[in-house]
């Protein structure tokens, strides 16, 4: 550990000295090599893992370029600080400005990709379309590089709108999906000062991590020199990230290093949740509640509560169940039930058996229905209303794996209801 500390300090010193003419430059303290196949999803804004950084280490990332007007200024600022970053380039921007892609590469930064057209709702696109966006983005940046080399297999999804399909694709193709550890909101209509404040505050809150910026924003150009200056003043160090290749093995790491805050063996308290602290100030006696604090004082008893069963308005619920007629108290003994009451007709029994062999998802679906019915008031009524709805149409305007799963699940659910209640089946036929 001491050796590691020393070497990291030494590397820092070397890099600072390597920025001639800029004694205040933050420099780049070290380069880490990562294997996307070992860690396909990173960035604590969305995932459990992030890059294996030490405390006070920062990875700079810039999205959406290249756009000459601002990207060139970002490159100049980084050059003046000898700071290396990762650029997530948009394919269409690369086609329009291939020279800008080569400038990023020639300055020694990592060239990564950010889809072809930067669609706003990537997670809502059909999966084939979103994968096409990723592939075309890589192809366009590869073409712009023009030397037969490909960009790093690092991909950031626009707006971080990633879904299971894209993640599965990344795993299968050896791509690493980069989320981030903190943004600085530089795509919003805020001042450069605000971008600076957010970058520093959010970094301080986590202590290290991946900073998400945009090299196409004038406010980022204005804020970046101050951010870099402040990072150095506060003892932060810039880390450059490159992908592992056949002749460049990944930097050796322990699994725990990929967590933002690795569990410590010596600090036992971190293994238990924090005990909340309660304020004990205030009056000794609690105030007597006023009638107006209660919501059952009105004469319409619950009628004001709008009730919905799967979107269908239901009649207002009574607060108490309807009283049932009890046998007269004079009855000495209850009659013995006839044995025929306990007979289960053959057909019904078979249906019940079929219901019980359904797996956990079916049971879970029933539990969900039951709990939502409880919220609505009367489980029987809302259940019947749901069952009476027509089956979902086979064609959706928004096809997605989740939708497909929901569509196929519905008939199975109705079938279970059929098995449970004859009345439900009767309602369904109406
Ligand atoms: Zn973007």
How confident is the model over 22-39, as pLDDT tens digits? 998 999 999 999 999 999
Instruction: Determine contact, residues 58/30, Cβ cutoff 8 Å.
Output: no
Give the confidence band of 264 by pLDDT, cuts at 50, 70, 90.
Answer: low
**Torsion (CA) 81, 53, 180, 248 in degrees, nearest 10:** 80
Query: Which region, left, alpha or beta, applies to residue 47 given φ > 0 means left and ψ of -120 to 50 means alpha?
Result: beta
* Separation between Cα atoms, residue 33 and residue 424, nearest integer Å: 61
- Quote the Cα angle for 403-406-408, to 5°: 110
Give the confidence band of 297 by pLDDT, cuts at 50, 70, 90.
Answer: very low
Distance from chain centroid for Cα 97: 32
CA distances from 36 to 50, 90, 153, 320, 412 (A): 12, 20, 7, 60, 40
Give the confidence band of 417 by pLDDT, cuts at 50, 70, 90.
Answer: very low
Give me ligand 1 centre to Cα 116, in Å. Answer: 11
* Separation between Cα atoms, residue 41 and residue 170, nearest integer Å: 9
Residues 6+ away with beta carbon under 8 Å from 347 = none
Check if 214 is active-site: yes
For 343-359, how does the pLDDT look when each residue is reduced to its tens digit (9 = 90+)? 665 554 444 444 444 44
Counting residues of the chain whose pLDDT is more than 90, the rounded percentage is: 54
Give me ligand 1 centre to Cα 250, in Å. Answer: 27
Give me ligand 1 centre to Cα 79, in Å. Answer: 23
Query: Which position among 118, 123, 214, 240 bears the catalytic label?
Result: 214
Give me ligand 1 centre to Cα 126, in Å. Answer: 19
Instruction: Determine contact, residues 206/58, Cβ cutoff 8 Å.
Output: no
Helix ranges (DSSP H) in 207-289: 218-233
Give the confidence band of 288 by pLDDT, cuts at 50, 70, 90.
Answer: low
For 100-155, how does the pLDDT look when each residue is reduced to its tens digit (9 = 90+)? 999 999 999 999 999 999 999 999 999 999 999 999 999 999 999 999 999 999 99
Give me ligand 1 centre to Cα 111, in Å. Answer: 14
* Separation between Cα atoms, residue 65 and residue 220, nearest integer Å: 12
Check if 247 is active-site: no
What confidence score (pLDDT) does residue 287 get? 62
* Separation between Cα atoms, residue 367 and residue 50, nearest integer Å: 36
- How far is it between the farthest Cα atoms of the chain? 106
For 185-241, how does the pLDDT look when each residue is reduced to its tens digit (9 = 90+)? 999 999 999 999 999 999 999 999 999 999 999 999 999 999 999 999 999 999 999
What confidence score (pLDDT) does residue 344 get? 62
Residue 364 has pLDDT above 70, yes or no: no
CA distances from 160 to 46, 69, 171, 172, 209 (A): 8, 25, 17, 19, 16
* Separation between Cα atoms, residue 195 and residue 222, nearest integer Å: 9
Q: What is the DSSP-derived secondary structure letter of residue 266?
A: S
Give the confidence band of 261 by pLDDT, cuts at 50, 70, 90.
Answer: confident
Query: Which position among 39, 63, 114, 118 bears the catalytic label?
Result: 63
What confidence score (pLDDT) does residue 210 get? 98
Give me ligand 1 centre to Cα 65, in Å. Answer: 9
Give the confidence band of 333 by pLDDT, cuts at 50, 70, 90.
Answer: low
Instruction: Please tell me whether residue 314 adopts helix, strand or coil conformation.
Output: strand
More confident: 52 or 406? 52
What confidence score (pLDDT) does residue 397 get? 41
What confidence score (pLDDT) does residue 257 get? 92
Tokens 């725990």: give the residue: 256
Instruction: Determine contact, residues 240/87, Cβ cutoff 8 Å.
Output: no
Instruction: Determine contact, residues 111/105, Cβ cutoff 8 Å.
Output: yes
DSSP calls for 276-294? PPPP--S-SSPPPPPGGGS
Tokens 């202590």: give the residue: 207
Residue 167 has pLDDT above 70, yes or no: yes
Give me ligand 1 centre to Cα 233, in Å. Answer: 29
Give the DSSP H or E segment for 89. Answer: strand 86-89
């Amino acid at each position: 550990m001491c050796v590691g500390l020393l070497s990291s300090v030494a590397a820092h010193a070397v890099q600072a000295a390597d920025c001639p003419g800029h004694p205040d430059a933050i420099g780049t303290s070290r380069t880490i090599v990562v294997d996307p196949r070992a860690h396909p999803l990173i960035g604590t804004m969305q995932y459990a893992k992030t890059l294996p950084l030490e405390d006070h280490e920062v990875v700079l990332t810039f999205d959406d370029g290249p756009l000459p007007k601002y990207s060139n200024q970002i490159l100049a600022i980084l050059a003046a600080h000898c700071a290396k970053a990762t650029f997530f380039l948009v394919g269409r921007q690369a086609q329009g400005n291939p020279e800008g892609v080569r400038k990023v590469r020639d300055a020694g930064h990592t060239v990564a990709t950010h889809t072809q057209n930067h669609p706003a709702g990537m997670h809502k696109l059909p999966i084939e379309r979103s994968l096409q966006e990723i592939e075309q983005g890589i192809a366009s940046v590869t073409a712009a590089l023009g030397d037969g080399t490909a960009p790093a297999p690092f991909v950031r999804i626009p707006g971080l709108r990633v879904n299971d399909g894209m993640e599965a694709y990344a795993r299968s193709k050896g791509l690493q999906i980069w989320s981030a550890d903190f943004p600085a909101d530089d795509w919003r209509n805020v001042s450069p000062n605000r971008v600076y404040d957010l970058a520093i505050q959010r970094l301080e809150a986590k202590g290290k991590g991946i900073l998400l910026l945009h090299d196409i924003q004038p406010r980022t150009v204005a804020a970046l020199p101050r951010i870099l200056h402040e990072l150095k003043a506060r003892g932060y160090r810039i880390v450059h990230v490159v992908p592992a290749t056949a002749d460049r093995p990944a930097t050796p790491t322990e699994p725990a290093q990929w967590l933002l805050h690795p569990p410590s063996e010596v600090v036992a308290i971190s293994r238990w949740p924090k005990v909340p602290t309660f304020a004990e100030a205030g009056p000794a006696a609690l105030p007597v509640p006023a009638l107006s604090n209660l919501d059952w004082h009105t004469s319409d008893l619950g009628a004001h509560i709008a009730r919905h069963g799967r979107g269908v308005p239901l009649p207002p619920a009574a607060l108490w169940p309807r009283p049932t007629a009890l046998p007269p108290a004079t009855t000495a003994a209850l009659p013995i039930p006839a044995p025929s009451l306990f007979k289960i007709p053959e057909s019904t029994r078979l249906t019940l058996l079929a219901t019980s062999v359904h797996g956990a998802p079916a049971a879970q679906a029933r539990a969900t229905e039951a709990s939502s019915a409880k919220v609505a008031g009367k489980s029987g009524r809302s259940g019947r209303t749901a069952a009476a709805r027509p089956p979902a149409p086979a064609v959706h305007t928004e096809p997605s794996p989740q939708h497909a799963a929901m569509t196929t699940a519905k008939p199975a659910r109705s079938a279970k209801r059929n098995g449970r209640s004859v009345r439900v089946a009767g309602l369904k036929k109406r």
